[in-house]
Structure 1
Amino acid sequence: MPSATTTHQTPDVRVPAREPAAASGRFFLLLIAVCTAVTAANIYLAAPLLPLIAHDFGTTPSAVTWIASVAQFGYAAGLLFFAPLGDRVNQRPLVALLSLATAAALGLGAAAPGTAALAAAVFVAAAATVIPQLLVPLVAERAPAHQRARHVAAVIAGLFMGIVAARVVGGLAGQAFGWRWVFAGSGVLTLILGLATARALPREHRRRTGPLFAGLAALPGLVRRSPDLWRACVRQAGMFGAWSALWTSLALLLTGPAYGLSTATAGLFGLFGLTASAVAPLAGGLVDRFGAAKVVRSAYLLAAVSVPLFWLGGQVLIALFAAAVAIHAALVASHVANQTLALTTTSAPATANTAYVVAGFTGGALASTLAGLAFSHWGWSGVAAVAGVWLVLGWVTTAVRR
């Protein structure tokens, strides 16, 4: 697999070696999906715990919403520097090293004496927990061409299961044991699953030529030369931004005066994320059959319906239920379609995947930051407005450029 994206660069040479038997079986795919779930949960670990963190540090929940945004910015930064290495270095030691770094950062976060130290630990943990985006290109590369989207969808289902776990299990465990124990426990799970996955990855030796971070320098040119990749990046940034604005602010609505729920009860709202488990395989089959563009178009229509439902959910709980199901279904369908397109549109899938996921998480981080400010000034209506604007930007920007 070439890691360079311009004709004057010398591609890296991958020399295959003996692979573990699990690398070609269902167990391998299952292990990757579980590892993806555990590591992806780290990005969203702080969101359902914000009320507990605020109480511990003697402040208000709205004053610590920025910590959830820090995690997304950290993940985007980690993607820029670490994910392109999947085209250039042996992934076994890379996954193991990142697992160790994530676990250490979560441990420091559990012992943080204040919000600044916690934010720093969250940033480092999120930056190092880019393991899912190293594994997805590998799965796509090894899958049969006619089932590629289905295999990618299986890993994406694991990713969204991790998001559900972060909100549901994190909220329940935080209420029972405190938010610090949630951080510590997640660090232990990340270490165990990360090292197990690293051991199961296929052995390979790559003769690298050129700078280690050449993939990072190649990102702008790669996106510029591939209209399909550019479109996938922008559309997912809009979709993920809308989802992030609503989902990272939801705990503030549910535990606030409107509903007055406990952190544990509010965390149960994450169960609606189980929608992703059913939608991901379905979306994968639809992409393989009808193509990515039609699936993304349908996902945007569903997300557009969910935004006014979320706004109504500020006063009507049943509307919030329906909106939560709709936004998760839209997000995962869009993600399966756009990521499959990003992985197959160039000859450097790890680098292309980096551009795609960085765009998505940057859009999400910006939207969740604005949503926190909007909630402080205009309440839940402001959050819904931010989500709507992000959807419009994501679709209109790609619709006008051919």
Structure 2
Amino acid sequence: MPSPAPSRATTRTPAMTVAAPQRADRRSTLFLLLIAVCTAVTAANIYLAAPLLPLIARDNGTTASAVAWIASVAQLGYAVGLLFFAPLGDSANRRRLVGGLTVVTTVALVAAAVAPGTGALAVAVFVAAAATVIPQLLVPLVAQRAPAERRARHVAAVIAGLFTGIVAARVVGGLAGQAFGWRWVFAGSAVLTLVLGLATAVVLPSEHRPRTGSLLSGIAALPGLMRRSPDLWRACLRQAGMFGAWSALWTSLALLLTGPAYGLSTATAGLFGLFGLASSAVAPLAGGLVDRFGAQKVVRSAYLLAAVSVPLFWLGGHVMAALWVAALAIHAALVASHVANQTLALTTTSTPAAANTAYVVSGFAGGALASLLAGPAFGHFGWGGVCAVAGLWLVIGWGATAVRR
């Protein structure tokens, strides 16, 4: 008697067994790619004003150094937005949160495009930067979904997108501002933010979380969280020093390149940001090094590289070749330090979104303060004053954490 035919529902061929994981891997790759692109577009909003400062100053009848504070306003706005919104990643529905912040950012960018003066522009830039904290809501999600042995690599992929956006803000922003005017740069960024932000919100997993605490409870918990985790405290201070050094140099670079020393146009000075592509190339490498050797060794090497770049930047005030080498070095140091410190921050506590908030707020607060000092330093002491601010921030960032508590 012939045996019955196998049921179709229970038959699995080897090809089907292999295809299912492949489809899952493909979906995971596409998901990671979309998050990286969204991160690039939204991160660029924080730095849109920096390459446009000469154009903004010309339209308002003032000097570029007199409006340099607008770039610092954007970083302060981002830090404030992180304090209020990023901790919600542990408790709120990220899909709704990302969608809502996308709309607010878009409206603020449109307001910046039609701002009648520097005061209104600064308010719009502040609101846009405060609402464009979407990357820091997505990084903890990526870290949670990644396999443990590849966590730093996945985080590095998103960080590569973040720094690509920073580079695009300087290069594309400078070129587009020169060709169409600085207002159209803000308008174009509004369109990109709306499209990519809403697309990302749609594909995020739906999360039904019970409400715990208030909007301010996440902020109140941050000091205690840092006290309980020396690794998080150390990562915060070290990245504040590194990011402050980078911010002082990079936000003031347009003033040097368009000033008497080199006399470049805004568009040509913006092309200098292409050296920032080194960060996008270094991020995956840094992720692999962190997974293999640990975060501490990578951060130590990054600080050494940044320390070498500061005197090269000073020499670059007169020698363009030195400026090229310094730009490559500071971007490589920044991104390697960032990958290592952020991976450490995301894995050192049981509340990764809150830990990530403390980490990124510390970094951007350090960057905002350094760039705030860099403008007056450039006005009073020239490019050498900016380099001194950068060197001071590196000393503070490493010296404050060199002794174990």
Report the TM-score, using the length of structure 2 for normalisation: 0.93
Are the counterparts in 1 of residues 240 and 366 from structure 2 also a CA contact under 8 Å?
yes
CA contact (8 A) 2:256 2:262 kept: yes
Of 182, 189, 204, 1:201 maps to: 204
2:329, 2:212 → 1: CA distance? 47
Contact 2:84 2:215 in 1 (8 A): no
Q: RMSD between aligned alpha carbons? A: 1.2
Alignment of 1:350-361 (within 5 A): 350-361=353-364
Give the match for residue 379 of structure 2.
Answer: 376
Q: Does 1:335 align with 2:338?
A: yes
Corresponding residue for residue 396 of structure 2: 393
| Residue 365 of structure 1 pairs with residue 368 of structure 2 | yes
Aligned to 2:31: 28
The AA in structure 1 aligned to 2:294 is: G
Show the counterpart of 1:308.
311
1:58 counterpart = 2:61: yes
Amino acid at match of 1:367: A
Partner letter of residue 348 of structure 2? Answer: T
CA distance in 1, matches of 2:323, 2:222: 39
- Whichever residue aligns with residue 70 of structure 1, its letter is V
Return the letter of the residue paired with 1:261.
L
Query: Which residues of 2 match residues 116-265 of structure 1 at below 5 A?
Result: 116-265=119-268
Match in the other structure for 1:101:
104
Amino acid at match of 1:363: G
Q: Secondary structure at the match of 2:208?
A: strand
8 Å CA contact retained: 1:40, 1:162: yes
Q: Matches of 2:214 and 2:321 in 1, distance apart? A: 54
For structure 2, list consecutive stretches of 5 or more residues without a partner in the other structure. Answer: 1-22
SS in 1 for 2:92: coil
Which residue does 1:271 correspond to in 2? 274
Native 8 Å contact 1:84 1:213 kept in 2 = no
Matched, 1:325 2:328: yes
CA distance in 1, matches of 2:147, 2:141: 12
Aligned partner of 1:310: which letter? F
Cα distance between partner residues in 2 of 1:313 and 1:214? 46
**Could you tell me how far 1:212 is from its partner in structure 2?**
3.9
- Provide the rounded CA distance (Å) in 2 between the counterparts of 1:341 and 1:25: 23
Q: What is the CA–CA distance in structure 1 between the aligned matches of 2:319 and 2:286, rounded to whole Å?
A: 30
**Equivalent position SS for 2:209:** strand
Partners of 2:404 and 2:379 in 1: CA distance: 35
Instruction: Please report the TM-score for the alignment, with normalisation by the length of structure 1.
Output: 0.94
CA shift, 1:400, in A, is 2.3
Residue number in structure 2 paired with 1:89: 92
Q: How far apart are 1:21 and its partner, in Å?
A: 7.4
State the alpha-carbon separation in 1 of the partners of residues 136 and 265 from structure 2: 34
Secondary structure, counterpart of 1:206 in structure 2: coil
- Structure 2 distance, partners of 1:164, 1:210, is 38
Following superposition, the deviation at residue 286 of structure 1 comes to: 0.3
Aligned AA (2:402) = A
Q: Which amino acid aligns with 2:79?
A: A
Change over 3 Å in CA distance of 1:345–1:318 after alignment to 2: same
SS in 2 for 1:60: coil
- Which stretch has the larger CA shift, 23-32 or 88-97? 23-32
The corresponding residue for 2:44 is 41
Report if the CA contact (8 A) 1:40-1:159 is conserved. Answer: yes
Report the CA distance between 1:134 and its aligned residue.
0.1
CA deviation after TM superposition for structure 1 residue 208, in Å? 1.9
| Cα deviation, residue 298, structure 1 | 0.1
Please state how far the C-alpha of 1:209 moved relative to its aligned partner. Answer: 3.0
CA distance in 1, matches of 2:279, 2:392: 24
Who is 1:4 aligned against?
none
Instruction: Identify the match of residue 286 of structure 1 among 275, 286, 289.
Output: 289
In the alignment, the residues of structure 2 paired with residue 223 and residue 65 of structure 1 have an alpha-carbon distance, to the nearest angstrom, of 32
Cα shift readout 1:262-303 (whole Å, capped 9, x = no counterpart): 000000011001001110000000000000000000000000
Structure exhibiting the larger radius of gyration computed from Cα positions: 2
- Tell me the SS of whatever aligns to 1:400: coil
Distance in 2 (CA, whole Å) between partners of 1:192 and 1:99 is 9
Q: Distance in 1 between matches of 2:213 and 2:313?
A: 49
Please give the alpha-carbon distance, in whole angstroms, between the structure 2 residues aligned to 1:132 and 1:164: 16
